[in-house]
Amino acid sequence: MAPLAKNSNSGLSIESARRALTTRLQAAGIEEPALDARLLVGAAMRLDLTALIMQAARNLTPDEAARLEAYAQRRLAHEPVARILGVREFWGLPFRLSEATLVPRPDTETVVELALDIFRERATGGRRPRIADIGTGSGAILLALLHEIPDAFGVGTDLSLTALGTARGNAAALGLADRAAFVACSYASALHGPFDLIVSNPPYIPAEEIPKLSIEVREHDPRLALDGGNDGYDAYRALIPQAAERLAPGGALIVEAGQGQAADIQTLMTAAALTVDRPPKADLGGIPRAVPARKMPR
């Protein structure tokens, strides 16, 4: 495809470039072409939305045109905008990404919402609250919770050292490094309780379903963070018993679930001697997304 502009004299204005890119993305079947075009133009120009509006009539420089075209080609190949820009907002906070981390999705904010609801219903007996995030990836869930619970300390685990490095960087950038630690291990195997909250967005896609996912997911999200085994429940079978052992009395486990998985996850929780005393919390699409259970005091 021809570049959007060759030089600043013959180039398009910022507004024209945005409209042209929207048209190209729409023709390629991109779901949100106008939003993606605005984000990519803003990143290529290194301008926020206000500056884009104020400078809409000026022409792109050759460097800006080249940078925008490079972004455009990547998006036209169905690379997610968050991957192109290397950052994604979650819970109103910016998170840097890497090849070893999922792109945080709005559905996952349901886990944060429910965890906060449950946490605020119980006292910790004067102790400093402790949180664990199993399979932390970019650290999005853990760091969102630490942002909302100022006196809490959190630990994130992951098998990927690259993911843990990304999470540490996000903790530092958000001013949370002194209240967060990150450990390389399988699920919660290296952790010692008790924890007041344990949260997780584990891999839950059945292996045979992965080739059917969108290009944006199957070719750009790490398979380790997607593949839930033959039936999609391998991670839950491993992490739920481990979490149950490490919860404080009265502590809660909240996990993200895929469509149609909540009831089976509740069965696994009950089998691990956890109490399912409230229904899953649905995401904005109505899917039961955050599944809770509690370790009842003896």
Number of domains in the chain: 2
Q: How far apart are CA 68 and CA 273, in angstroms?
A: 54
Query: CA 60 → CA 37, 106, 250, distances in Å?
Result: 15, 33, 59
Rg (CA), the chain: 21
Residue 92 lies in a domain: no
What confidence score (pLDDT) does residue 6 get?
41
3-class SS at 283?
A: coil
Question: How high does pLDDT run on average in the chain?
Answer: 94
123 vs 176, residue with greater confidence: 176
Give the Cα separation of 188 and 159 in Å (integer): 10
Enclosing domain of residue 280:
100-294
Q: Are residues 116 and 264 in the same domain?
A: yes
Domain annotation covers residue 207: yes
Q: What percent of the chain has pLDDT over 90?
A: 91
Q: How far is CA 15 from CA 1, 18, 32, 34, 53, in A?
A: 20, 5, 17, 12, 8
**pLDDT band (50, 70, 90) for residue 8:** very low
**Which residue in 193, 189, 164 sits closest to 252, CA to CA?**
193
Tell me the whole-structure pTM to 2 decimals: 0.92
Verify that 110 and 184 share a domain, yes or no.
yes
pLDDT band, residue 253 (cuts 50/70/90): very high
Q: pLDDT band at residue 123, thresholds of 50, 70 and 90?
A: low
User: Are residues 28 and 141 located together in one domain of the fold?
Assistant: no
36-88: pLDDT as tens digits: 999 999 999 999 889 999 999 999 999 999 999 999 999 999 999 999 999 99
Q: Is 159 helix (H, G, I), strand (E, B) or coil?
A: coil
Residue ending a domain, among 77, 111, 132, is 77
Q: In CATH, what number is assigned to the domain containing residue 245?
A: 3.40.50.150
Query: 49 and 118: one domain?
Result: no
The answer to whether residue 262 sits within a structural domain is yes
Instruction: Output the pLDDT for position 7.
Output: 36
